[in-house]
Each structure stands twice: as structure tokens, then as C-alpha cells.
Amino acid sequence: VGGMMCNDCVSKVKTNVAKINGVRRVEVSLDDGRANVTYETTQTDPHAIQTTVNELGFVVTLPEKIQPSSATLSVEGLNCDLCALSVQRVLTSKAGVISVTISVEERKVLVDFYGYEVKASDLCRFVYNAGYPAVVVSEQGPPDLESALFSVAGMTCMSCVNSLEGLLSCTEGVEGVRVSLQDGTAAVVFVPSMVTTSQIVEVINNAGFECHVKHRVPGDSSDSEATPLLKTASVKTASVFLLAADGRNEPLEKCHLHVRGMTCASCVSAVEKNLLKLEGVAQALVSLLAERAEVKYDPRKVSPLQLVEVTCDLGYQASLIEDLEYQYGEIELSIKGMTCASCVSSIETAVLKQPGVTKASASLSTQRGHFVFDPEVTGPRHIVHTIEEMGFEAAPAGVNQTDVDHLTHAAEIRKWRRAFLISLLCGVPTMAVMVYFMMFADTDSHCCLLPGLSLENLLLFLFATPVQFVGGRHFYLPAFRALRHGMANMDVLVMLATNISYFYSVAVLAYFMAAQADHSPMTFFDTVPMLIVFLCLGRWMEHLAKAGPRHTSDALTKLISLQATEAMLVTLDNQGEVVTEKRIDVNLIQRNDLIKVIPGEKIPVDGKVARGTSNVSEAHITGEPVPVAKEVGSAVMAGSINENGVLLVNATHVGKDTTLAQIVKLVEEAQSSKAPIQQLADRIAGYFVPTVVLLSILTLIVWIVVGFSRIEIIHKYYGTVKGMSDSEVVMQFAFQCALTVLSIACPCALGLATPTAVMVGTGVGATNGILIKGAEPLETMCKVKCFAFDKTGTITRGTPVLVYVGLLSQARASSSRALLALIGTAESGSEHPIAKAISSYAKQLLMTDILGSCENFEAVSGLGLSCRVGNLSGILNVASDKSTESDRPDLPLVEVQHIGKGTLQDASHEGAWDGTHDVLVGNREWMKQNSVVVPAFVDSLMCKKEMLGQTVILCSVDGELAGVLAVSDTPKPEARATVRALKEMGFKVVLLTGDNRQTASAIAQEVGIDEVFAQVLPSHKAEKVQQLQTRGLKVAMVGDGINDSPALVHADVGIALSNGTDVAIEAADLVLIRNNLYDVIAAVDLSRKTVRRIRINFFLASIYNLVGIPLAAGVFMPFGVALLPWMGAAAMALSSVSVVTSSLLLYL
């Protein structure tokens, strides 16, 4: 195809050829100047295709592989070689003639020609006009083709399909085959002179199947039902089989490639195009976000390694994916009506009989079924239909992992709250009992119930027991798991302290009761509830801090909510007309389904537009508010919103393969990879636990040795106990000291150090407009060295505003009002963000809510609009009587410039704007199509504005260019000051955006950012963050859009603005409630102070243990300083209070 100059030419050729009846596929390459057309030979021919492209103004040359015709002419007057040369020159100069062979002796001419370009009768006429009468003696054309549809019984799987297709393809005279397993049919294109339908039936029967002719279409049939049988077969099966123009096909295999380095849709197109150029490649589907290419190929012509090599030659990194996960689809269905095991068995058996289903399992208890299938053979709808035919009700289950995660998190909060309240109910009375018997009860009243059992010990036992077995069990199971893996965390220390204290107390109390002692022993029952109360409180506060007002797992729920829940499935007849429309669950969509999307609906799947034009909002992918124009062949993504036109979309990626599903996966993976800051306390306890246990054992051994060698020391500090021998006194004293060491060293202060500081820090942050989700971001923020800002909605306002007006008018005064009144009126009929920006400013400028009248409004996606505007005089006259622009501080700052003379008249000119005017608003191409001349100086001005990242619009009035407008997303007022302050604090600042480099660089320069990453998609934003992290930098990402969510969760700290999307807010670690970038600096300061407080808490807890353990062990007894067990318990409680008090100092 000669004459193609740009992508618009490519699109024009592709669109018009695709409309030809019988054309199946069109691929046009601008680089190669070629068009590859797959067509049904019974419905069209190369001549019709050539004519269509020629009528578009291009020059078409057909390939030589088209089968030619031949004719023998008898020519009178062919007497010499000179005559022969004359006839040969005449014929070879004609289009379609391939070769000419002349026999002067026989006076005959043999001509090979393309029958679609020239006829044998035309050849006779050409020769006759040259002065030599001629007649056609014989003519031989290319073989006529016929189509037939055969009914085939006995096929059970895709192996049957592949073997039958391979067998028929090798049969002489067969030009094309497509076999449908689902319908039990085989569609065959053949040469009737070489093979008959009876012979084809015999070939199929000999292969072990039962076959008969279902329908036959002669090659010259004009019946509408002759519309390609091969197409009919392909519509009814999920398998995609592409017939080449030469009619041959081969059994195909499928492989998946992991392709890294793609950054945009052009990369996808390049990979697909170059893969399809390989001989043997029938289909290539590339997913940008999944970084995956699915290729169907003929293994006898090309290998997967060749596919990898071709992709690598394009500059991408490619590897072969062997994981079977990509080969199959899965669906979980809710099945109603199952009553027994027989129902389960019958469903599993029936579904497994369906072609393409590889696994089926149903559960009677949950009333659900899980099914695995090959999406190339079958799909969810077929499985649901099979189950429903058995009398059951089936539908997609609709439960996702996000909901489960959310419920699990809520359960953790409830668990620790319940444990704390139970412990508190017993802890408060325990403290009251201790105080009463120490301060008010006399010694004699301590043993008044049974021998060896005092009222005090009985009450402490009753209060400690429920805490030990109810509140403490949440610590014991993790402790046992840790010990089983050879670890010692904080839970192990809690378990040791509480269990030894409790069971020692039970044992010694039982011993004294059994011995009928006249007094009750000293016990440690009070240690259990006191420890568990404070520890459960700490864990509850920790989980509340992590959850905060918003749960981070809600981010995934918000993302999934972007997915459409239903879709309109349509089927077409052979003429391409809609036959049926059915609304189905989005989970039942299968690949290659045709989906209808009306204005305002979400697009349910990734796919390509098969029919219609529209503007589609893809903000969740690109982050930009301006909708994207879509036409036939354009790619669309799940979750994007169709704004105006009706689209028919051919589904290419469904379910977990959609772009939206890939973003969900990115967010989920990044969130699950984060670890809580409480691991720091566990690491400290990991060393602390064995140390404390050793010290406790050492204390026991030392006091036993001291006691037996110098009993007077024990008597001096412990006294004598009635009824006990010296050895019993020594053992009890030593054991009590060891237990005091173990109980006083229990790291409840360590357990409270982090959550209490976090609770206070987050509270201070919330008061000041900074929502902090847990301890992790607080700790990490102090280590951040780099801030990465999104552009749209973060650094900039997020909505386009008018920034420039260039006038071509007769006079400068008030001409801008006239131009804006015209354009504002014209744009008032459009919902495009740029149109809204201009219309809004016009209304502000003219101080009116209603502009002029607008008729014959027509908008063309990607170009502009045209309309007839009237009733402007009254508005302009009223506006001219009011205050001028300089008196209007409420107006946004817009540069107005007089750039040349034109037809635009002064708004104050009497009668200048009576009547109606034809207005055009759009880009250069729109003006060109409407014959509006754009001067060179205007084009130069537009280029300068575009270099600044502004969108430039032209306006013509009554066929003459009247003005130039520029619209831009301007930076926020505080953006530059925030960037400067961060730089002064030593932070590296970068801009990370999906917008084009030109616009991004202009904004970055305006706010003072030096490093820019532009044209970056969501998954690649996360990669850019990781690149910065590989430099050794801790990165904080600041964003506001759904497209920022993967980067927000991959960053060390994700910061979102509260005016952003819910998904971004939920995915972030910090949220700036007031939407002010100054709060980024405040968040850094708050983080530093909170983490400093956490470290102070750890220091206090450590100092407490360093001083308390020696006291408890009796090291200072020679100096008259010692701790009794109740003092150890009190000191333990006091340590927790001191940590909480320290945290509360953050409020100051």
C-alpha cells in the first residue's frame, strides 16, 4: 500500500477494509507499507479489497502468490517477430497481466493474468485495438472453492479436534478447516474438482468419528446463508483459529512469555506486530500491566524460543513462562439445591464431561463449587448452563479475599479487647485484695479458713485462675510455636512468668494444705492478673493503632468496587447485526465475548473496540482527568468509564488478567510484604528472655548456696517462719527471689512502649490534619531520604484551567470577552474537562450563569466541535457595563494577548454580535478538515505553549480563525514552597507521573523539582520507586489517584491526599486531611518526635529492668535495700504506667 504517511492513514485503511463482507482480519504496517488481509474466499476476492483501498487514494500492489488465470488467444495478422513484439508490448502494459508468450507460427498468444484485474475478453479488445483481430481459444481460471459444514459425532476433547483438523488439512483439495468441539461440527473450504464432500465424509469416518454433511455452499452462491461457515463455527467456540489467504491452517499450540520493559500501548503494539510477522504465529495478545504475552503458534513452523528471541530483539526482556496457572481459568460458583452427596457427585461428573473442564469439586456444606477450565475451549457460562440444566441454581460466589482479610483484622481487635476486659475484671479486685491485706488486715486473720489456706490466698487464686486460662491463652499458643522453632520472643517470657508464678503458687499452697500447716505460704497469684491486664491492653492498643479510623485492607475492597458487576453480552448475525442482548454477571464473561457498553457504564473487561466511537475516562490507569478518544480497534481497560458513545467491545482479557485485577494484585502483594514495628520488641525480648531466665536460675542457686552456708543472712532479711526448718526457709526464700526476678523483669513495658506512643502520635496527627496508620510509617518516615510526588492532583490542582487567550481581532479592547462568550457558549454543550474549564471561566468573566444559544452542536472525538452560536449581544452589553477584569480579584489569572488582526470584533461594538455565527473549536486537524487556514505564526505560538505542557485550542468564527486558547493543570500555590523546604531539609525530591514528558518537565521546572519520571504506568511507578530504593534511599510516595496505589504501597511510606480517590487513601500509610502539601513537612516533624518518644520508652523500660532485676535478686540486701514479691509486682505495674505517661508527653 503506497501513500500511507501516518497512523491516521493506517487506521483509515484498516477500518474500511474490515467493513468488506468476508474479511476476517486486517493488519496494516506503516513501517513496511503493507496490509495483511485474511478473508473468506467464498465471499470476496483481492480485487474487491484492492478497489476499496484505491478509492481511499492509496496505490495498491498485490502479492504474486495470488493464483493467476491463463488464456490462449488466436490472433490474425501475426506474421512476423515485429508483430509479435507489438502485441506483447500492448498486453504487458496492461494492469493484471503477468506474462505473455507468443507463437508466430501458430498465431497464438498465451497470457497469464490476474482475473480480478482483467478479463480474457479485455485482452482480445486490447489486441484488436492494436490492429490485430483476436478471439479467445481457451481459458483456465483458478479453482472454484466451496464451503461445507459437516456434523461430527464422537469428539471428546481438544486432542480429537487437533487430530481431525490436521488430518483434513493434509487432504488434497482442502483449503481450510475449522472444527468446533462444542457444536460437534467441522467447517471445510475445498476445491470441488479435487475432492468431494463424500470423500471428506469418508476421511472423517475413517478417523473413528461419525460424520454427515450438514450444509453445503457452492462457490457462486449469493445466498445470505452462504456467509462464511467458517465464521459461524468460530463464533460458537472459544477457540480462535485464523485462516491465511492461502487457505491452509495447522493445529496450534499456546505459550506465555514474560515481557519486561514495556511502558505504553505502543510497546504492546510493537510486540504484537512483530510476533505476528513470524511464520506460524496465528495470534498474539499482550498485557501491559501483567507483562505477559499469550501467543498461539504452529509448533512445526516456529518454536517458543524463537518467540522469545524476536521479543528480545525489540529491546525488551523476555522469558518463557512454564507455570500452568496461566493456561487455565478458575471460577467459584454458589450452587443452590444440593441436598445430599449424590447431588455433589452428579454435578462433578456432569461438569467434568464438558470439553475443556479439567477439575470440578463441589461442597455440600458450603453449597459451593470450584471449577478449573481451559478458556480456549469453554468458559464460566457453559459450566453454569450445565449445572442449571441439571435442575440446580448456579451463580458466581462473589466472595473475595479482601473481605476475608478485613474480617480477620476485626476479629483480632475483638479478641484482645475481650481478653483485656476479662483480665481487668479480675485484675482490679486482685489489687484491692493485696492493698487490704497489706495495710488493714492483721496477721491472725490471714489463716482462718482451712489449715494452710488463708482468705487472701483463696481470693487471689479465684481471681488469677480465669485470667491464667482465658486471658493468657492468647500468649501461650504463640509462645509454644516460637519455642518449637527454637525462638524466644516476648510471648515466651510472658508464659514463663505467669505459668511459673501460678503453678508454683498452686503447688506450694497445696503442699501447705496437705501438711496441715498452721499458716498459709507466700504466693505469687497476684502476678498473673497484673501482667496479663497490662499486656492485653498493650496488644489491643497496638491493633487499634494499626487499623486506625480506616483499615488498610479496605484499599483492595475499594479497588475491586471499580469493577463492573454486570455486563451486556451481545451476539451478532452473519451480517454483523445485533441479534440478542443479555445482561450477565461480569464473572461469566469469556474471552472473545462481545460486550455492549452504553454511556456512563464501566467497561467490564480489557478488550478492543469492535464497533462505535466514544470518549473513555481511564484515570485509574493514567492518572490524567482528560478522557481518551476510542474508535474501532482501540484498546480499552476494565474499570474505565464510557462517557458518551455506545461501544461494542471484544473481550481479550477477563477475570484476573484484566488491568484492574493486576493493580489489585500489586496492592495486595505490597501490603502483605510489610512487617509491624513490634518485631523490634520481639527481637529485644529474644535476647532478653534467655538472659532473664539465666539470671533467675542464678539467683536461685546463689541464695541456696548462701543460705546453707550462712543461714543467719536469710534470717536477717527473711526472718524465721513458725513450723519451718532452716532448709525449708532457705529453699522458699531462694525460690521467691528467683520468681521476683522473673516477674519483675517481665517486659510489659516493652510491650507498651510502641503502641502507646503510636496511639498518642496518631492522635496528635489527626488533630493537626495528618492521619497516620500505625507504627510502621512513623518509624520509617524518620529514615526517608527521598520524596516522590505524583503530578496531577498532588503537585497540580488536578483539573484543567484556562491560562492563555490569544486574539486575532480588529481591536484589543473587550475582544477577549467576545471570544470567550463564543467559545464558552459552544463548549457549554460538552462534558469534556477542557470544555468545562473554558465554559466556567467565560461565565465568571461575563458574570452570568447562562450564555448564548447553541444549535447544530456536533462533537468529533479527538478533533473538536462545530455549532451555530447566537444571542450574544445582550450578554456582552451587560458584561461591558459591569466591572472590568482588573476589578475582579475572584477571577483566575489568565494571560490575554493580541497576536494579530482578524475578523473578531470588539464586544462593545454596537450590533457586532447580533444574529448567529458558525463556530469551530478544536485542534489543527479539525481546522484543516474545515478549510480554516492556520497562519505559521499561530502554529509557532501553539508549539511554544505545547512545550510548556499546555493544551492548545483553536477557534474560528464564520470560517475565519479568531483566537488561540491554552488550558493547563496549574501547580498548587504551596507546591513550590513545599519542594524548597524539603530540599533545605536534605531530602531528594522527584516527580513521578503518567503524563507526557513535555508537560511533566514544565510543571517540575515551575515548582523546582530537578528529576522527572514521565509517561509511567501504575506498575512501572512501583518499579521506579523500587529503583530509587535500590540506590539505598528510603522513599516516600505522595499521590492521590488510583493509579498511584501500587507505588504508594511499594514505597517505604505512602502519603495520600484526602481529596484523592478512596483507593489511594486506603493504600497509603499517611493521609493529609487538609489536602495541603505543607502537611508533608509537618508529618516528617511529627514522625521524628513520635519515634524519639518510642525510643525513650524503650530506654525507660530497659533502665527499669537494669535496676529492678538486681534489686529483685537481692544484690543490694547487704546495703539494706531489697524487694519483696509484692514490691516486684507493684514495680512491674509502675513501669507500665511510666511508659504510658512518657507517651502522653507527646501532647505537650
Condensed to tens digits (0 to 9), the pLDDT of residues 923-971 reads: 888 998 998 888 888 888 888 888 777 889 999 988 888 889 998 888 8
Residue ranges with strand state E in 270-419: 281-287, 292-297, 317-321, 329-336, 357-363, 368-373, 393-396
Which residues make Cβ contacts (< 8 Å) with residue 893, sequence separation at least 6? Answer: none
Are 760 and 1096 spatial neighbours (Cβ–Cβ below 8 Å)? no
Which residue type occupies 989? V
What pLDDT score does 235 carry?
28
Least confident span in 48-52, 326-330, 644-648, 1118-1122: 326-330
Average pLDDT over residues 115-120: 75
What is the rounded CA–CA span in Å between residue 833 and residue 996?
18
Are 547 and 413 spatial neighbours (Cβ–Cβ below 8 Å)? yes
CATH class as words, domain 329-398: alpha beta
What pLDDT score does 1096 carry?
86
What pLDDT score does 927 carry?
92
Asked if residue 995 has pLDDT above 80, the reply is no
What are the backbone dihedrals phi and psi of residue 525, each rounded to the nearest 5 degrees, phi first? Answer: -60, -30
Within 10 Å of residue 813's Cβ, how many Cβ atoms? 13
Which residue type occupies 122? D
Asked if residue 236 has pLDDT above 90, the reply is no
In 3D, which of 943, 942, 945 has the Cα closest to residue 954? 942
Percent of the chain with pLDDT over 90: 7
Q: Domain ranges in the chain?
A: 7-55, 69-137, 146-235, 253-326, 329-398, 564-657, 771-795+973-1073, 801-968
Asked if residue 585 has pLDDT above 60, the reply is yes
Residue 790: active-site member: yes
Which residues make Cβ contacts (< 8 Å) with residue 412, sequence separation at least 6? Answer: 543
What pLDDT score does 711 carry?
82
pLDDT digits (tens, 9 = 90+) for 762-805: 777 766 777 777 667 777 888 899 999 988 888 988 778 888 88
HEC profile for 897-926? EEEEEEEECCCCCCCCCCCEEEEEEECHHH
What is the rounded CA–CA span in Å between residue 1059 and residue 769?
13
Q: Does domain 564-657 have CATH number 2.70.150.10?
A: yes
What pLDDT score does 792 carry?
80
Average pLDDT over residues 95-109: 84
Are 1125 and 739 spatial neighbours (Cβ–Cβ below 8 Å)? yes
Angle at 994 between CA 938 and CA 1079, to 5 degrees: 105
Q: Which residues pair with 965 in a beta bridge?
A: 805, 953
Rg (CA), the chain: 42
What pLDDT score does 86 carry?
79
Which CATH superfamily does the domain covering 771-795+973-1073 fall into? HAD superfamily/HAD-like (3.40.50.1000)
Asked if residue 36 has pLDDT above 70, the reply is yes
What pLDDT score does 976 carry?
92
What pLDDT score does 220 carry?
45
H helices then E strands: how many in the chain? 36, 41
Angle at 1064 between CA 1061 and CA 1067, to 5 degrees: 145
Are 71 and 136 spatial neighbours (Cβ–Cβ below 8 Å)? yes
3.40.640.10, 3.30.56.10, 3.30.70.100, 3.20.20.70: which CATH number matches 253-326?
3.30.70.100
The band of 553, judged by pLDDT with boundaries at 50, 70 and 90, is very low
Q: Which cell goes with 965? A: 486558547
Asked if residue 546 has pLDDT above 70, the reply is no
Asked if residue 849 has pLDDT above 90, the reply is no
Asked if residue 1092 has pLDDT above 50, the reply is yes
What pLDDT score does 744 carry?
75
Average pLDDT over residues 856-882: 76
Q: Which residues pair with 1022 in a beta bridge?
A: none
Average pLDDT over residues 892-916: 64
What pLDDT score does 664 carry?
65
Least confident span in 140-144, 197-201, 580-584, 666-670: 666-670
Asked if residue 911 has pLDDT above 50, the reply is yes
pLDDT digits (tens, 9 = 90+) for 472-524: 888 888 788 667 756 666 677 678 878 888 998 899 889 888 888 777 777 87
Q: Which cell goes with 405? A: 482479610
**Three-state secondary structure call for residue 33:** coil
Q: How many CA atoms lie within 13 A of 954 on its CB side?
A: 24
Contacts 24+ apart (CB under 8 A), 277-283: 278/302, 278/306, 278/307, 278/310, 280/250, 281/307, 282/240, 282/241, 282/242, 282/252, 283/240, 283/242
Least confident span in 147-156, 176-185, 408-417, 544-553: 544-553
CATH class as words, domain 146-235: alpha beta
pLDDT digits (tens, 9 = 90+) for 604-651: 998 999 999 998 887 665 555 678 888 888 888 888 889 888 999 999
What pLDDT score does 965 carry?
92
In 3D, which of 650, 628, 987, 1015 has the Cα closest to residue 832? 628
Asked if residue 551 has pLDDT above 50, the reply is no
What is the rounded CA–CA span in Å between residue 772 and residue 767?
11
Average pLDDT over residues 724-741: 77
Alpha helix (H) residue ranges in 367-400: 380-389
Q: Does domain 69-137 have CATH number 3.30.70.100?
A: yes
- The one catalytic residue among 374, 405, 593, 790: 790
Higher model confidence: residue 90 or residue 760?
90
Angle at 1016 between CA 624 and CA 1000, to 5 degrees: 65
Would you state the CATH architecture of domain 801-968?
A: 3-Layer(aba) Sandwich (3.40)
What is the rounded CA–CA span in Å between residue 286 and residue 288?
6
Which residues make Cβ contacts (< 8 Å) with residue 1134, sequence separation at least 6? Answer: none
Which residues make Cβ contacts (< 8 Å) with residue 98, sequence separation at least 6? Answer: 68, 112, 113, 114
| CATH topology agreement for domains 7-55 and 253-326 | yes
Higher model confidence: residue 814 or residue 1025?
1025
Q: Which residues pair with 1054 in a beta bridge?
A: 1037
Are 638 and 682 spatial neighbours (Cβ–Cβ below 8 Å)? no
The band of 406, judged by pLDDT with boundaries at 50, 70 and 90, is very low
What pLDDT score does 776 carry?
74
Alpha helix (H) residue ranges in 139-284: 158-169, 197-206, 229-235, 265-277
What pLDDT score does 552 carry?
35
Q: Which cell goes with 482? A: 516460637
The band of 378, judged by pLDDT with boundaries at 50, 70 and 90, is confident
3.90.226.10, 3.40.50.1360, 3.90.1150.10, 3.30.70.100: which CATH number matches 7-55?
3.30.70.100
Higher model confidence: residue 729 or residue 440?
729
What pLDDT score does 232 carry?
34
What pLDDT score does 835 carry?
86
Which residue type occupies 661? A
What are the backbone dihedrals phi and psi of residue 49, each rounded to the nearest 5 degrees, phi first? Answer: -65, -45
Higher model confidence: residue 389 or residue 686?
389
Average pLDDT over all residues of the chain: 77
DSSP 549: S
Higher model confidence: residue 273 or residue 490?
273
What pLDDT score does 114 carry?
75
Residue length, the chain? 1148
Q: What stretch of H or E contains 149?
A: strand 146-153
What are the backbone dihedrals phi and psi of residue 395, each rounded to the nearest 5 degrees, phi first? Answer: -155, 155
